[in-house]
Chains A and B, each alone.
Chain A
Amino acid sequence: MQDRIALLAIRLADDHLVLGHRVSEWCGHAPVLEEDLAMPNIALDLIGQARSLYAYAGEVEGKGRDEDMIAYLRREREYTNCLLVERPNGDFAETMLKILYFAAYMEPYWQAMTGSKDETLAAIAAKAVKETAYHIRHAGEWVIRLGDGTEESAGRMQAAVELLHPYTAELFENDDLTAELANAGIASEPSDMRAEWDRTIGAIFAEAGLSQPDVPFPHSGGRNGEHGEAMGFLLADLQHMQRTFPGASW
């Protein structure tokens, strides 16, 4: 069971590290000062959550890997993040929507995990659930403001919806790992989050005047390490320091 817990922790950590990295790319480029504070703060939350999870995964898998080794010294196919989070940032509307889509999934997930039989995962979740609620509020406000804004902002927001919606189904995919851990009372099945996600997104979209498109062919594969083109470039950036100076720390 310990190795299964480590796999789940790494999967969750990969989602958070990759999204955290993407959001951190906005540092110094946000449209207003408040956003230039908000973006790195959100990135810090996500990367902090990833750190706790990687450190715990390293501890339970017992292979002598620390959080940096797992985070920085794997190959692309070994990352099991969902495809949504690795998407390039696009414009501000797209980034905010991506943060919202992910946070609306994670909030009920963390909430459920606070009752996990694994004490460490429950403690990580107890912190993360509050941080995630902030992300929903912040990104949700922007999705409403832009969706219900000018013709230009509404058009961009709806375009972001068309682009990113096909990546959301992957969030709710169950597999052998999630089934096993759900049976053991460690973590919920991703599909259990669907109803709450629909409620959160539905309420925000109603205020924003946005509509959810039909998605005949949703994207998937990240959980098996099958990533899009953007992932390699992201990892080149993310891993540069550790690859160039192995073991570097400060």
Chain B
Amino acid sequence: MKPRPFDYVRPDTADEAVALLAEHGDEARVLAGGQSLMAMMNLRLADPGMLIDISRIEGLEGIRDLGEKIEVGAAVTQNKLLAWPDLSKKLPLLAAALPFVGHFQTRNKGTVCGSVAHADPSSEISLSLATLQGEVVLRSKQRGERVLAAKDFQLDMLTTAREADELIVAVRFPVHAGRGVAFREVARRQGDFAMVAVAAFIEDKGHLRLGIGGMAGTPVVQRMAIGGMTDAIETIASGLEGYEDLHASAELRRDILRNLAPLVIAEAQKCAA
């Protein structure tokens, strides 16, 4: 279990990084925390010709408060965001979701943006970003910066709208201080990928947003009236494909969702009150 050979480049600036991507985009992979990528490379399931290590680029290390949004740079680790003093005030959903991401040891190195970039269907961060209707900031040498809404970014399982020459420089989470939110997931073991993950976000007295991970290629986010949530959950549960794998049948996933969603919503309502 050793990786295949590759060129290693460690740019000092984001400009250098996007220049490298412009030149080698198709065969290069960006190495930030490497918690998914390195495991796949050790198993020889990923095979980049070049690794662009962005972990030391100073400009990407910041968590910036933009007022309406919080911008998290590409080199910010999950634990760094978890330890950010304003987190539970300004991004309570992230405060609830991040402890479910892997383990303490992998959060020490794994990055927030890396998780979004990897686009695993059960990623807690991608689900939070989608539920909050956040955005992804991409940059290329040729075309400069563009900003994509979370729903336009993740297209399918492990597939995103990022072009080969683009670097994810940051993600932005809308500030949602004081909102009712809750997050829970069901996994086989603590820290495993979720079979089903559920995020709830109370929009106003009458409405909520329900985010569901692990049931489709991308996070599924649905706005619903609080009064009609039982039917809405049932519609989602029976409508989603809810794929099969070793650990869960589609039926099991659907039933877990049916059981879990009302609990998470209740929790969010309680936290809103």
Q: Do A and B associate with each other? A: no
Which residues in B have some Cβ–Cβ distance to A below 8 Å?
Answer: none
Which residues in A have some Cβ–Cβ distance to B below 8 Å?
Answer: none
